[in-house]
Amino acid sequence: MRAAAPYLGRVAILPPTSNPRAALRDLIAVVRNGDQRERILGATLAVLVTIIILILFFVDSQINTAPPPRVIYVEAYAPERSDADIVASQKRDQAKRNADASEHRRQMQELQKRLGIE
Following DSSP, what letter does each residue of 20-50 receive, concatenated? HHHHHHHHHHHHHT--SHHHHHHHHHHHHHH
Q: For residue 11, is pLDDT > 70?
A: no
Give a yes or no: residue 66 inside a domain. no
pLDDT at 106: 96
Say if 27 falls within a structural domain: yes
Domain boundaries, position 51: 20-60
Percent of the chain predicted with pLDDT > 90 = 38
Domain tally, the chain: 2
pLDDT tens-digit readout, 58-108: 888 878 777 888 999 988 888 888 999 999 999 999 999 999 999 999 999
Integer Cα distance of 46 and 39 in angstroms: 10
Q: For the whole model, what pTM was predicted? A: 0.37
Question: Does residue 93 lie in a domain region?
Answer: yes
Q: How far apart are CA 41 and CA 30, in angstroms?
A: 10
What does the pLDDT read at residue 23?
80
Residues 56, 86 within the same domain: no
